[in-house]
């Protein structure tokens, strides 16, 4: 066993922390308030190579491991959860399936500009009537010559509207249910592909969430990832890795809120002494710190398994489940420690508490994670 | 162009300094590259990008100073030398003597360092290196152009700035405002571990401890007195303002 980060991982953590604090931090509250992302930050993240951390250098990536990716995601989320999901959705949900299931030509065409940050990626899996039951996707893809014609709607798509490249999970054969699915790469501005409404949300408000609408949208067969019938399989593989990044995001949000609460508890005086002098506050802080550390270890362990090429479906589900619930719990406590000020937008813990909630919902709700874990242990 | 950047690892500027046994405790302190040296490294890299050449980072410090060196390499420096003096009891004389000796074994057109380190703040080392190497030095530089064998540097002087011309090779010290240091890129971080980092001791430079022994001995460190609690002056604005002015004049004696 070895719990020590490598020198590169340490330097990466420090670099991303400095970047997040200096460049993103001053903008986080305003981006949340305006429900808009400052895309100049994307350009800076691209320049640093945060847009392709885990991909080989020959595809424009930095060729780092998933532990590094988890650390970077945590550091971004510690300051701004929205920035971390922009990167996580781009990397795990869009670039990764192209890397893992795309052919060489698709990698050159799509993965390279994604990893270099010249293009922004998104995944369209969820539909208005297919959320937790992702195998029930209805968006249809009907072959027509060398093309497929797509019709249907995707809901709640992160990086929608702004994204250039979309991985879309479609149904090619309704009768075969989830075995009759496929994954396509669809580029923005393809005729017949438009954006529906933008969601107005509780948290991660700077991150874009859009409906995607396909009306007789013609996509060449060469844009299919893997083969027909593999759509659901690809989606599940995407989530095995994606959940590590959401777990890391949850840890980051919690860490950010905890640090704020810890500092505040030492300077806020009531009854003639700092509130941190009360055991009630001390125990809250101790529990927050402990849970975050446990969540971080689960997260890094699932990243470690992925790096080692070992199965990690169960572990990444456990990490995501625990980290998300930890994040929600910790941020509620952070607001509590701030008292009335925690409820006010003047302090970041209010935003962090709203941001934490999404980690219990996307890439599989906490109930779905429990289903995944139970299936694994009862098999 | 061959550029040498002098880099020091310092305590994080946000670190809480604690004294123990007459020394500054290193425990639980996070270490960073001296921010003024970051400007120096950035400027070196910009010059390399413009004129071609290479950047060598040289540092004097304990083995853990490799972190600061790796950061410089990840930013884009080509190679590095870390000289471990083998003792913590060093002064500016020690550091400058070692640096000058290490640099004298290299080819250089320009040597650049921070104008001071944020920990001891003595602002001596780069100037001493210039003196030992018999080079001109321009301090507190906020703008630098290098061309045709000479440098034109804008330097902070009391109450204003001066533009100076100086032939190469020269020692330049960086002041805030010279540039915006880049963040190491992810690829840079991965490449840094493959770049040369030569860890050497005094003997490798042909020096022995007596030649570099500190001339200045710190007798005692003390922390500034804890800041007293703020004072809130209550009352109507006009009255409170009058009371404040009175307090500033009579109690604080600053107006
Ligand atoms: C901000 C945001 C961003 C998103 N980004 C993306 C994206 O980029 N790409 C994408 O494809 N999707 C995205 N999603 C969709 C997200 O993954 C889904 O919202 C999520 O999977 C839940 O689906 P649902 O909303 O349809 O809820 P439902 O599936 O309707 O679930 C409702 C409730 O029922 C529970 N439930 C459902 N089935 C069971 C069961 N069998 N046992 C017990 N409980 C159950 C759920 O846990 C939940 O509590 C995003 C969502 C949001 C809010
Ligand atoms: C939306 C809103 C509306 C409000 N409306 C009104 C109003 O109409 N009128 C009005 O007068 N006030 C109002 N308030 C103020 C509210 O009552 C206070 O915010 C509340 O009493 C907490 O005080 P505080 O915010 O100063 O927190 P603090 O007292 O600073 O408390 C901070 C944290 O320390 C804990 N703590 C403090 N002392 C101890 C201790 N001895 N032991 C253990 N833990 C301790 C607290 O429980 C809390 O978790 C409002 C506040 C909000 C946010």
Q: Are residues B100 and B173 in the same domain?
A: yes
Homologous superfamily, domain A121-232: Butyryl-CoA Dehydrogenase, subunit A, domain 2 (2.40.110.10)
Average pLDDT score over residue span B108-130: 95
Q: Domain ranges in chain A?
A: 7-115, 121-232, 236-377
Taking CB atoms and an 8 Å limit, are B189 and A53 in contact across chains? no
Enumerate residues 6+ apart whose C-beta is below 8 A from A281: A265, A275, A337
What would the two tokens of residue A360 be?
């219990």
What's residue A176's pLDDT? 96
At A287, give phi and psi (nearest 5°): -65, -40
Minimal Cβ distance to A62: which of B71, B183, B190: B190
Q: How far is CA A373 from CA A242, A319, A321, A378, in A?
A: 16, 11, 10, 9
What would the two tokens of residue B167 be?
């032939």
Q: How far is CA B43 from CA A292, B104, B174, in A?
A: 40, 21, 8
Taking CB atoms and an 8 Å limit, are A7 and B187 in contact across chains? no
What's residue A59's pLDDT? 98
Taking CB atoms and an 8 Å limit, are B67 and A7 in contact across chains? yes
Q: For the whole prediction, is pTM greater than 0.90?
A: yes
What's residue A2's pLDDT? 87
CA–CA gap between residue A92 and residue A239 (Å, rounded): 8
At A172, give phi and psi (nearest 5°): -105, -15
Q: Are residues B91 and B44 in the same domain?
A: yes
Using the predicted structure, report yes or no on whether residue B60 has a pLDDT greater than 90: yes
Ligand 2 binding pocket includes A340 (Cβ within 6 Å): yes
Minimal Cβ distance to A62: which of B66, B70, B187: B187
User: pLDDT digits over B137-192, tens only?
Assistant: 999 999 999 998 999 999 999 999 999 999 999 999 999 999 999 999 999 999 99
In-domain check, residue B40: yes
Q: Are residues B60 and B186 in the same domain?
A: yes
- Residue-by-residue DSSP string for A252-283: HHHHHHHHHHHHHHHH-EETTEEGGGSHHHHH
Q: Please list the ranges in chain A whose pLDDT falls under 50.
A: none
Enumerate residues 6+ apart whose C-beta is below 8 A from B140: B115, B155, B156, B157, B173, B175
This model of the complex carries an ipTM of 0.91
Q: Are residues B44 and B104 in the same domain?
A: yes
Q: Which residue's alpha carbon is at the smallest distance from atom 21 of ligand 2?
A: A340
Average pLDDT score over residue span B220-246: 88
Residue A351: HSE in the Cβ half-sphere, 13 Å Cα cutoff: 25
Q: What is the tally of helices (H) and strands (E) in chain A?
A: 13, 10
Q: What is the CATH number of the domain that holds B78?
A: 3.40.50.620
Which residues, listed in sequence order, are joined to residue A212 by a DSSP beta bridge? A154, A195
Average pLDDT score over residue span B110-119: 96
Asked whether B212 and B93 are in contact (CB, 8 A), the reply is: yes
Closest CA to A57 of B187, B164, B246: B187
In-domain check, residue B106: yes
Enumerate residues 6+ apart whose C-beta is below 8 A from A187: A164, A165, A166
What's residue A65's pLDDT? 98
The H-or-E segment that residue B24 falls in is strand B23-24
Other Cβ atoms closer than 10 A to A292: 24
Average pLDDT score over residue span B26-41: 92
What's residue B203's pLDDT? 96
Asked whether A69 and A55 are in contact (CB, 8 A), the reply is: no
**A to B CB pairs, distance under 8 Å:** 50
What's residue B128's pLDDT? 97
Q: Which residue has the tokens 């607001």?
A: A335
A7-115 placed in CATH 1.10.540.10: yes
The distance of B77 to chain A (nearest Cα, Å) reads: 15
In-domain check, residue B219: no
Using the predicted structure, report yes or no on whether residue B22 has a pLDDT greater than 80: no
Domain count, chain B: 2
User: Average pLDDT, whole number, for chain B?
Assistant: 94
Q: Which residues of B touch A10 (CB under 8 A)?
A: 67
The H-or-E segment that residue A249 falls in is helix A231-267
Using the predicted structure, report yes or no on whether residue B232 has a pLDDT greater than 90: no
Using the predicted structure, report yes or no on whether residue B198 has a pLDDT greater than 90: yes
Query: What is the Å distance from ligand 2's center to A337 Cα?
Result: 9
What's residue A81's pLDDT? 98
A189 and B CB contact within 8 Å: no
The distance of B70 to chain A (nearest Cα, Å) reads: 8
What's residue A181's pLDDT? 98
Q: Look at B16 and A278; give whichever has higher pLDDT.
A: A278
Q: Are residues B77 and B191 in the same domain?
A: yes
Other Cβ atoms closer than 10 A to A83: 32
In-domain check, residue B217: no
In-domain check, residue B161: yes
A236-377 placed in CATH 1.20.140.10: yes
Question: Which of B9, B35, B67, B189 to probe the A interface (max A CBs under 10 A)?
Answer: B189
> What is the domain extent for residue B176?
2-212
Residue B59, Cα to own-chain centre: how many angstroms? Answer: 10
What would the two tokens of residue A269 be?
């005086």
Minimal Cβ distance to B70: which of A11, A48, A53: A11
Using the predicted structure, report yes or no on whether residue B226 has a pLDDT greater than 90: no
Using the predicted structure, report yes or no on whether residue B123 has a pLDDT greater than 90: yes
Q: Are residues B206 and B234 in the same domain?
A: no
Q: How far is CA A254 from CA A49, A82, A91, B111, in A?
A: 25, 14, 22, 45
Q: Are residues B152 and B253 in the same domain?
A: no
A363 is catalytic: yes
Q: Is the dihedral of CA A109, A112, A114, A118 positive or negative?
A: negative
At A129, give phi and psi (nearest 5°): -110, 10
Q: How far is CA B169 from CA B14, B104, B163, B224, in A?
A: 36, 12, 18, 41
Q: Is the dihedral of CA B195, B199, B203, B207 positive or negative?
A: positive
Can you point out the beta strands (E) in A188-272? Answer: 193-198, 209-220, 224-225, 269-270
Q: Are residues B18 and B116 in the same domain?
A: yes
CA–CA gap between residue A124 and residue A169 (Å, rounded): 6
CA–CA gap between residue A376 and residue A23 (Å, rounded): 42
């Amino acid at each position: 066993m070895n719990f020590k980060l490598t020198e590169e991982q340490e330097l990466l953590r420090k670099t991303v922390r400095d970047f997040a604090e200096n460049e993103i931090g001053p903008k986080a509250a305003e981006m949340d308030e305006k429900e808009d992302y400052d895309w100049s930050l994307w350009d800076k993240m691209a320049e640093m190579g945060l847009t392709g951390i885990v991909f080989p250098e020959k595809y424009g990536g930095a060729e780092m491991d998933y532990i590094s990716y988890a650390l970077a995601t945590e550091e971004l989320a510690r300051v701004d959860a929205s920035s971390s999901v922009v990167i996580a959705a781009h990397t795990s949900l869009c670039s990764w399936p192209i890397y893992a299931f795309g052919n060489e030509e698709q990698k050159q065409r799509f993965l390279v500009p994604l990893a270099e940050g010249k293009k922004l990626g998104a995944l369209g899996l969820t539909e208005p009537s297919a959320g937790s039951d992702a195998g029930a996707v209805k968006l249809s893809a009907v072959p027509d010559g060398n093309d497929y014609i797509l019709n249907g709607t995707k809901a709640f798509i992160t990086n929608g509207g702004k994204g250039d490249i979309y991985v879309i999970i479609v149904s090619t054969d309704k009768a075969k249910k989830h075995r009759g699915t496929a994954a396509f790469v669809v580029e923005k501005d393809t005729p017949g592909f438009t954006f529906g409404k933008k969601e107005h949300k509780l948290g991660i408000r700077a991150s874009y969430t859009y409906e995607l609408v396909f009306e007789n949208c013609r996509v060449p067969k060469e844009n299919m990832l893997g083969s027909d019938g593999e759509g659901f399989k690809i989606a599940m593989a995407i989530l095995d890795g994606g959940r590590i990044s959401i777990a890391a995001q949850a840890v980051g949000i919690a860490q950010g809120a905890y640090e704020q609460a810890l500092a505040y508890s030492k300077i806020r005086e009531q009854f003639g002494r700092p509130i941190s002098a009360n055991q009630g506050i001390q125990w809250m802080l101790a529990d927050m710190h402990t849970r975050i550390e446990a969540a971080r270890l689960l997260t890094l362990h699932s990243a470690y398994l992925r790096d080692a090429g070992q199965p990690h479906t169960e572990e990444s589900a456990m990490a995501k489940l625990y980290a998300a619930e930890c994040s929600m719990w910790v941020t509620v406590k952070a607001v509590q420690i701030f008292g009335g000020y925690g409820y006010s937008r003047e302090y970041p813990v209010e935003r962090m508490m709203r941001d934490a909630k999404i980690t219990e919902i996307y890439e599989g709700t906490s109930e779905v994670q429990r289903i995944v874990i139970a299936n694994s242990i009862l098999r | 162009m061959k550029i040498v950047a002098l880099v020091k690892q310092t305590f994080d500027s946000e670190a809480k300094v604690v004294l123990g046994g007459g020394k500054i405790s290193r425990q639980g302190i996070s270490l960073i590259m001296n921010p003024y040296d970051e400007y120096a490294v950035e400027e070196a890299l910009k010059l390399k990008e413009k004129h071609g050449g290479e950047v060598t980072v040289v540092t004097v410090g304990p083995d853990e100073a490799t972190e600061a060196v790796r950061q410089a390499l990840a930013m884009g420096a080509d190679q590095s030398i870390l000289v471990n003096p083998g003792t913590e009891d060093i002064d500016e004389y020690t550091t400058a003597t070692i640096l000058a000796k290490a640099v004298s074994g290299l080819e250089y057109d320009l040597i650049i360092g921070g104008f001071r380190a944020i920990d001891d703040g003595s602002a001596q080392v780069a100037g001493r290196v210039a003196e030992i190497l018999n080079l001109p030095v321009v301090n507190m530089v906020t703008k630098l152009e290098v061309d045709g064998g000479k440098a034109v540097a804008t330097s902070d002087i009391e109450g204003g700035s001066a533009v100076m011309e100086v032939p190469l090779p020269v020692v330049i010290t960086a002041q805030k405002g010279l540039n915006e240091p880049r963040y190491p890129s992810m690829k840079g971080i991965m490449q840094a571990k493959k770049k040369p980092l030569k860890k050497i001791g005094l003997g490798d430079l042909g020096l022995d401890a007596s030649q570099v022994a500190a001339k200045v001995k710190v007798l005692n460190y003390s922390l500034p007195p804890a800041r007293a609690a703020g004072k809130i002056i209550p009352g109507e604005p006009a009255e409170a303002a009058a009371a404040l002015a009175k307090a500033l004049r009579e109690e604080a004696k600053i107006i």
